Structures are given as structure tokens and as C-alpha cells.
């Protein structure tokens, strides 16, 4: 097993399934945090408690890759060249300048310049992707095809990023380019049959991870899953402040969505193993 930085956790298992957790980190090095407007704003847009919600994937034999570094330091789900994933849509950058709500993250005069961004790419971005690429290669050496499942969450209402209230389940396949429809369709069917609102390739079609690694013709089928936080947390709907966000993780409240996610990941595993989803 390769050595990894202390902030990067790679748990290797043998099933043809990789679960990527790029945005659950809250660690910010002190020298970087000193440049932030506030510690809370710097962590506001974390995908809160997603690592707890998906804790069951170990039982499926899935390999997991998780960074403890906050997306405010660098976002490992953005193109390192800085090219926007969806031109014309509001979004945050490789190194975000603002929160999702448009609040400035960096104190005046202390926003990272090009040399600092390059340092963060080398220190935090490249190790995450080197680990992810290595696990894809390792498992493809054992399986004819694998599923890469990229986990995300976001608050339900953020007017700067999307109109109205986000569906609880947003499935991204890069408009069908990152995975076969034989995988996308069972996932969408499970989500639609659940008690939760769902959409496929809506506002979130897939970030850099899904688009960069999804290559069905090479046996790598990538899916992004973005959850609206109200599906698994007692989310205060609308604007939040330091007193109201984040809320604690409640396993009982999260159980219903977790069961749906487990069925979806069972379908991913079944697809990778034999090309068809297990019966409901």
C-alpha cells in the first residue's frame, strides 16, 4: 500500500467500487486560516457528515478515498487549469474566492495569488488525484469494469447557485458521457421510487472527478451524487449563520435516505460485477 499524507485516507478493498469523498474535510492549515475572514465561513460549505452517512460502504467492499482538507484550501473537484466546468453558471473556483452565498472568504489583500495556488495544487490536489488514479488502475486490473461514485451534499436553497429548492437526490452522469445507461437508469429508478425528490443531470451534471475519470469505453463508470442536506439532516432551510449551521448528525433522521443510498450503491456494485442491477 502506498504511503499517503496524513490528511488523505485511502481504504483499499477488492469490490469493483470506489467511493470518493472530496468535500467532507474541515482541516485548514493555520497559515491559510489566518488569511480567512472567519473560520466558520471557511468551513460553511463543507459537505457536512457525508462520511458518516456513507459509513456503510465498507460493508460492500468498496474502496474509499477521503481528504480531510477543506475545499476552501483547494477544491479537488475542480479543473486544475481553472477552466469553469459549466461556463455561464455561478460556481466556486479551484481555490474559492467566496462561499456559495457570495460572501468573501479571504481578508482584504490576503487572497491566494498564483504561486500559492500552484503550491496548493502540488500539496493537496495532486496527491488526491494520484491516489484516485492508482485505485482505479488497481481495481481495473482485477475487474473488467468498475463504478466510481463521487459523494457530495449541499444546502437545499442557495439562490446564487440554483433557483428554488434543490431536489434531495441529484444524479450526475455528464449527460450520459461518464457511465453507461445500464448504470444510470437503475440508479435513477431507485431514486425515483424513493420518498425523496430526484433528478438526473439537472443543475449538477458532474464535477471534475466524474468528467475526468468517467470513461465507459475503458471500463470506468463514474457517477456524481449530490444530496440536498434536508434529506439526511435537520437542515435550517434558507440562510444560515454560525449558530444554526452545521447541525449535528442524527443517524435516526438520516436512516431513510441512507437506505436509498445503500440500494443505489448495491446497484452500482451489481452493475460492475455482472452488468445488471439486483432486483428490488
Residue 149 domain flag: yes
Quick one: which of 225, 228, 217 has its CA closest to 201?
225
Q: Please check whether residue 224 lies inside any domain of the structure.
A: yes
Residue 218 lies in a domain: yes
- Whether the CB-CB separation of 105 and 98 falls below 8 Å is answered with yes
Question: Count of domains in the chain?
Answer: 1
Host domain of residue 117: 8-274
Dump pLDDT digits (tens) for 228-265. 999 999 999 989 999 999 999 999 999 999 999 999 99
Contact at 8 Å (CB) between 204 and 19? Answer: no
Region of residue 254 (phi > 0: left; psi between -120 and 50: alpha; otherwise: beta)? alpha
Give the tens place of pLDDT for each residue, 8-26.
999 999 999 999 999 999 9
Please report whether residue 3 resides in a domain: no
Distance CA 58, CA 129 (A): 21
Residue 279 in any domain: the answer is no
Q: How many CB atoms lie within 10 A of CB 51?
A: 19
Asked if residue 225 is part of any domain, the answer here is: yes
Work out the number of other CB atoms within 10 angstroms of the CB of residue 58. 13
230 belongs to a structural domain: yes
Q: Across the 280 residues of the chain, what is the mean pLDDT of every consecutive 10-residue run?
A: 89 98 98 98 98 97 98 97 74 92 97 97 98 98 96 97 96 97 97 98 95 97 98 96 98 98 98 58
Residue 107 Cα to chain centre, angstroms: 27
> Taking the C-alpha atoms of 188, 189, 195 and 199 in order, what is their torsion angle to the nearest 10 degrees?
30
Q: What is the pLDDT of residues 68-83, one digit of tens each?
A: 999 999 999 999 987 7
DSSP state of 218: G
Whole-angstrom distance, CA of residue 112 vs CA of residue 16: 39
The C-alpha cell at 249 is: 448528525
CATH number for 264:
3.40.630.40
* 280 domain-assigned: no
Which of these, 26, 31, 213, lies nearest to 119 by C-alpha position? 31
What pLDDT does residue 276 have? Answer: 38
Output the pTM of the full model.
0.94
Amino acid at each position: 500500500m502506498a504511503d499517503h499524507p496524513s490528511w488523505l485516507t485511502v481504504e483499499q478493498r477488492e469490490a469493483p467500487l470506489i467511493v470518493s469523498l472530496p468535500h467532507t474535510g474541515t482541516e485548514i492549515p493555520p497559515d491559510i486560516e489566518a488569511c480567512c475572514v472567519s473560520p466558520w465561513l471557511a468551513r460553511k460549505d463543507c459537505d457536512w457528515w457525508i462520511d458518516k452517512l456513507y459509513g456503510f460502504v465498507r460493508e460492500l467492499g468498496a474502496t474509499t478515498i477521503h481528504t480531510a482538507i477543506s475545499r476552501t484550501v483547494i477544491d479537488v473537484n475542480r479543473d486544475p487549469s481553472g477552466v469553469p466546468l459549466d461556463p455561464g453558471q455561478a460556481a466556486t473556483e479551484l481555490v474559492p474566492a467566496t462561499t456559495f452565498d457570495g460572501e468573501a472568504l479571504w481578508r482584504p489583500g490576503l487572497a491566494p495569488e498564483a504561486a500559492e495556488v500552484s503550491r496548493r495544487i502540488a500539496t493537496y490536489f495532486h496527491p488526491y488525484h494520484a491516489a484516485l488514479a492508482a485505485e482505479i488502475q488497481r481495481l481495473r486490473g482485477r475487474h473488467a469494469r468498475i463504478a466510481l461514485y463521487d459523494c457530495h451534499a449541499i444546502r437545499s436553497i442557495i439562490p446564487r447557485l440554483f433557483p428554488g429548492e434543490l431536489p434531495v437526490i441529484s444524479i450526475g452522469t455528464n449527460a450520459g458521457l461518464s457511465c453507461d445507461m445500464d448504470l444510470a437508469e437503475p440508479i435513477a429508478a431507485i431514486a425515483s421510487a424513493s420518498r425523496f425528490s430526484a433528478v438526473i443531470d439537472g443543475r449538477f451534471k458532474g464535477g471534475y472527478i466524474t468528467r475526468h475519470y468517467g470513461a465507459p469505453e475503458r471500463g470506468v463508470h463514474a457517477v456524481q451524487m449530490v444530496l440536498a442536506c434536508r434529506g439526511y439532516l435537520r437542515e435550517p432551510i434558507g440562510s444560515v449563520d454560525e449558530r444554526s449551521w452545521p447541525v449535528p448528525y442524527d443517524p435516526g433522521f438520516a436512516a431513510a435516505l441512507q437506505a436509498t443510498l445503500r440500494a443505489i450503491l448495491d446497484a452500482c456494485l451489481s452493475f460492475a460485477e455482472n452488468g445488471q442491477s439486483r432486483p428490488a
